[in-house]
Amino acid sequence: MKHFISFIIMCVTAMCVAAMPNAACFNVIPRPQSVTPLDGKAYNLTGKTTIYCDNELAPEAGMLHDFIKQETGMDLKVKVGKKGNGIFLAVNKAIDNPEGYRLKVGSKGITICGASPAGVFYGIQTLRKALPQGIAKSIEVPAVDIHDSPRFAYRGAHIDVSRHFFNVNEVKTYIDMLALHNINRMHMHLSDDQGWRIEIKSRPRLTEVGAWRNQTVIKFDSGYDGKPHGGFFTQEQAREIVAYAAARHITVIPEIDLPGHMLAALAAYPELGCTGGPYEVWEHWGISCDVLCAGNPEVLKFIKDVLGEIADIFPSKYIHIGGDECPKDEWEECPKCQAKMDELGFIETEDRPREEQMQAYIMQQAEAFLASKGRKVIGWDEILEGGLGPDVTIHSWRGMEGAIEAIKQGHDAILSPTSHFYFDYYQSKDTDNEPFAIGGYIPVKKVYSFNPMPEGVTPEQAKHIIGVQANVWSEFIPTFSHLQYMALPRMAALAEVQWCQQEARNYSEFLERLPQLAALYRTNGYNYAKHVVK
């Protein structure tokens, strides 16, 4: 199989090398499963070409038109509900994978069939990425037959709008970046100690107070910048983002991190804390000891009020409720928390302190509430410390141990180990010439090297690994241009880990294809790191 794949890669590479500058090349990222060169003439794509499609694919046809116009200058016609020679888009239910597609090029045209509109969209992305960048009157598209589908159904990327706020247009651009890389989940970290970023109408002070901090620490502890920082999304803006993502077959998964990382909420509603405050939206980084008071009955009402509105705004199957890095110091001293643990009958054991049982109780209450609304919960791997409902998905960030434990218990797992997928880490060891980062070192090669199947897991357990995600925490990423730089081109390596089978991946060959994708970065004005590609 490896030799066969290498042979196909050489064939496609030879086609690209032999092609004229105005010829398409299917050496794209992520690399399709099967690319078979065909005998026969190439298709001549010109401004007179027409895009035909079934009625349900009118949005996808419109986006293909826009991609081609932006990247080549050709203004193709679109005819909905008609068939003809040119580019034809169709749904073909016979394709097995729901996101699979087939792209076939002959002398009379290009056909893209998908098992669903999402599959068609990924075929469109492959065609788009194959086209040369720059104004052209005609482009030769080589005769080829491509069969493709993704390895994982969950292909995620994360954006932290809490530590530093990014506006609607910036988030939309980030969504476009994800779509270019065949990523289909955007995890939005909407709340933290440093800012609350989503309007909750039943709790207006969350954005009136919690969305703003007076200043921000410089780097780790080099004083403060003296500049107020803040912002939030109205519910209408959040729905606008959800719709924009959905049109690109991306699901937005919101995160409200609880019961820790809640200082911005406590600044707005100090009665929800163990001490009653006063609290301020945090101006520096780290883990605050101020968390929601586990013994206050109003806290569970607050959680349900917030999650209820979140579920109304975001139609995603999953809601992320965090659960990470929650200090228990205040619970140990708080009479209300201790009384509540007594009431619930929690008994201290060597393996399970009462405070851990208390956090598990809070998370279970949140899970049950969301289940009543037909939603499922994702939580960081710390929530394994308590009892879990059967439908909880573990988001493993502290290495692979959490994921392995989760799948052994029969839970689904998403993989985001800090060792490979924290894109707020440096990409180069020459940190003096890099934008400031939180630390660490994850070059493109390290991202690409990740094997998402741990050794020793059974085939049944392996089914519970539903996908891979990269996280971009924004403590030291104050601008959107900086965010793009940290994500690109590492996102390209992530895309192949998510999309391609393990045996089909080869880093040296990946680097040969990367310049073609980087040309698209430049066309779209994306800022990217140039350590491995210019």
Q: List active site positions.
A: 192, 261, 325
Say how many C-beta atoms besides its own lie within 10 A of residue 459's C-beta: 7
Evaluate whether 496 touches 29 at the Cβ level (below 8 Å). Answer: yes
Closest CA to 185 of 118, 124, 232: 118
Count Cα atoms within 13 angstroms, Cβ side, for 73: 9
Decide if 25 contacts 516 (C-beta within 8 A): yes
Q: Give me the DSSP letters along 33-91.
A: SEEEE-SSPPEEEETT-EEEE-GGGHHHHHHHHHHHHHHH----EEEET---SSEEEEE
The phi, psi pair for 328, rounded to 5°, reads -110, 10
Distance CA 71, CA 523 (A): 7
Q: Report the C-alpha gap between 143 and 94 in whole angstroms.
A: 23
- Tell me if 490 sits within 8 A of 469, measured CB to CB: no
Q: Indicate the residue type of 297.
A: P
Candidates 124, 188, 148, 131; CA nearest to 499 is: 148
DSSP assignment letter at 219:
T
Residues 6 or more apart in contact with residue 47 via CB below 8 angstroms? 74, 75, 76, 137
User: What are the b/e assignments for 361-373, b being 16+ CB within 10 Å?
Assistant: bbbbebbebbeee
What is the full DSSP assignment across 239-275? Answer: HHHHHHHHHTT-EEEEEEEESSS-HHHHHH-GGGBSS
**What is the distance between the alpha carbons of residues 20 and 13, in angstroms, rounded to a whole number?**
13
CA gap 347, 337 in Å, rounded? 14
Q: Which one-letter DSSP state was computed for residue 217?
A: B
